Chain A
């Protein structure tokens, strides 16, 4: 079917299209050039006066896997008493379910979401949950850096190529799109009763520092040639004064590509009477000066949420601030994690300062291609709060209104009063479409040129940007209309994106021997088989 979206206001930063009036044509699942004869269109949809962008892409949102699911079970009070929103669609009435995740992202105009913390031992469950998330495409980042096999390689002085082969093998095994490091070595150290773990601390039993692990993984990612640079959760997350760790990590990247996740959580100084202050200026300056660095923010927005993290040291440390007072900590093969519910309060000095630091970072980092809009869902706020975040970035009066409501000491100390910058629609399109597609290597999405997948969002212009971005006027997924007037009208299945980098096959023997000695599972079962995933779960993998 040949479709024309006629007369929309187009934002396609990949092709430097900034608010031009134009048509977008697509045939079946892909965007195409306009036909010689416009009358060939099977369907013409008038979108004049409306904003047209590619489907949104979220690079960091915890939507699947054991830690997420355990949080659901721990906190029934967070999704009780929800009434049916979509009669006739199984489970669409269930809040915070896999189905709800797909529906709510689609309603906001998003078509691809990355789960950034797939623990390899738990990868099959992440894929099983992906299979039940409708509409949107999904991808996972495999967690490395606490794997005993990797730590043994480093302890024994293995060549970098060996590390690279192992991590490439792990990407095959887990069917993930990239690699995540979470407090490298920290989960392993916690198993040996270590309670704080910095960049230059060494993992007990291995004598390998966090810096060394991070460096080896970063180089492995470069050597594999996959698109997404190593995705880093730094040491000392959430600790006052940790901006120095973030700055040291940026230096440790040594000019090579590195993505720092949810940097708000390490934008903390330790000044002032509360011993807690904004380190946003120093961090933003470092990001601006290091073009090899990309970041997502992990914005805090006020309200009840739950923190879900593979940083087990941090989660254990946060047990005293659990709200409500219940929490989960778990150890597992090659990692660990925890679930700590939390309520961010506008009148609380620390929470208000966290809120301000996130916004300061957005407004102080000058290149929208290198700063991403996450809330680290659900750690800073649920992803459903994105529309409010976009309004905060696009509307300084709205920010000022919020500044008058938050803790006054935090408001007074913040730079926000002095930051007049407002994001425009073009910059929002960069940050939510073009830049994520580039960062993840998804070259056929995030833009509107012929050949791209027909994932297209149409928004109704509205002075209230939160209202505008809360509900897409239309959303096309692979060319099918799935949302009309902010409501899901059709629930298709999404796909899963992954990479298959080459690796030296000799690593399989070494991994096999290791698994035989120490694991509770054989490597052949540990490696997810694409045919089996298709058969057992209906998973359709797209390999990049």
Chain B
């Protein structure tokens, strides 16, 4: 019997092989060529290349108080003061990895705040459908190996998931066949089509002829393993499209196999939700202001809390994305990407390490089935959000302003 040695984290920079995860989209690929000489030129993915390049170019940064460079001690102390004095801090953005999500939930518990993700509206819709009825899902790996029909529901997602086409739609290395799956694209407004297919499948009449629906139903009935890939949907029909697709999948499964495949809404969404669930039982849009968790996916929506002034501090967490937070009336405490630039400087800006580039971490794949391991691939002086969080949670570790 032995305990874990204090081994240093493996650095992909020192490990010529693959296996380091890319945190910049929901596919969380780990088969890209590693950055060499702190450059990401060899990566076969625009999004990965952009994400790694930006972070590799920014391995150090200075904290700022209202735009003025500050020491780390002063900046942490100012952050602590903001958090301590806030009546209801909103922890938002959450474009980060599991470690960032853990920090957000810990800070929200300590300072009595609400947690909502940047893509909270879409996440909350999916959560509402799930909590009402449940669903039948599959994973990226199973879709790759078994799907013979993929019904792509949502906007073209090349920008969001650049390698999906290569890794799923066009993949011929599959367990029981070497044929790529048939792909049917329904676009961002698929509700009526899915509704019609479901109606026809139930043997009920349609309000008008829909040959496309008739054809899709035939394709579905002939499929051995049909997958409804759910991407981004138009706001005004996303809820019903997802519900209808979910019910259609359940009905198909009475006699054959079919499943939904959810690919997530944006970086950090799945980790924020799932970590929240095991931390407090609920996840997204949960308030810890009263000493116990309360989830309300409408009342604790970030936009509403900011617009109504219910939240009096915006804590923006974004280690993966350098886009600054939206402008707000509330003061802002930003734990941000080191390349973040602001039109309106926040009260406190603490640059943090980018997971998967400057530090190790874990991030959920969009299908929620796998936490992908992230390694540090370059040296950096930037602090991990978790280290800042540990100081903020320990009142005595903060030098008073």
Contact = CB atoms under 8 A, between A and B. Distances in A.
Contacts of A543: 1-4
A96 B292 CA distance: 12
Interface stretch (A275-283, A366-374, A532-540): A532-540
* Chain A contact patch, size range: 35 or more
A128 B224 contact: no
Nearest to A205: B176
A90 interface: yes
A542 B5 CA distance: 10
Dominant SS among interface residues on chain A: mixed
Contact of A73 (B142, B282, B364): B282
Contacts of B399: none
Interface in A67-125: 69, 72-74, 76, 79, 82-84, 87, 90-91, 93-100, 121-122, 124-125
A90 B130 contact: no
A531 B369 contact: no
A16 interface: no
Contact of B136 (A329, A534, A536): A329
Contacts of B8: 531
Nearest to A544: B1
A525 B10 CA distance: 11
A322 B361 CA distance: 37
A95 B292 CA distance: 9
A459 to B, nearest CB: 29
A286 interface: no
A521 B141 contact: yes
Given A520-B167, A535-B360, A316 B3 contact: no
Contact of A72 (B1, B21, B225, B278): B278
A322 B292 CA distance: 29
A321 interface: no
A96 B275 CA distance: 13
B379 to A, nearest CB: 15
A326 B208 CA distance: 32
A332 B373 contact: no
Interface in B100-154: 102, 105-106, 109-110, 127, 130-142, 144-146
A328 B260 CA distance: 11
A398 interface: no
A148 interface: yes
B106 A333 contact: no
Contacts of B224: 192-193
Chain B contact residues (Cβ within 8 angstroms of A): what range?
35 or more
Interface stretch (B12-20, B56-64, B183-191): B12-20
B139 A121 contact: yes
A95 B127 CA distance: 19
B133 to A, nearest CB: 5
Interface string B62-78: 00000000000000000
A525 B259 contact: no
Given A73-B131, A333-B141, A90 B175 contact: no
A331 interface: yes
A531 B3 contact: no
A97 B279 contact: yes
Contact of A521 (B98, B173, B277, B372): B372
Contacts of A519: 141
Contact of A540 (B4, B138, B293): B4
Given A205-B176, A521-B141, 20 more contacts: A69-B278, A74-B130, A74-B131, A91-B279, A121-B369, A124-B362, A125-B370, A128-B275, A128-B278, A191-B257, A329-B137, A518-B144, A520-B167, A522-B31, A524-B19, A531-B6, A531-B10, A532-B360, A534-B4, A537-B362
Interface of A: 64, 66, 69, 72-74, 76, 79, 82-84, 87, 90-91, 93-100, 121-122, 124-125, 128-129, 132, 148, 190-193, 205, 316, 322, 326-333, 339, 444, 495, 517-525, 528-537, 539-544
29 contacts: A73-B130, A73-B273, A76-B281, A87-B291, A91-B293, A97-B281, A121-B141, A125-B274, A128-B278, A128-B362, A193-B224, A326-B131, A326-B134, A328-B137, A329-B135, A331-B138, A331-B146, A518-B144, A519-B141, A522-B18, A525-B19, A525-B20, A529-B10, A530-B5, A531-B9, A532-B373, A536-B374, A542-B4, A543-B1
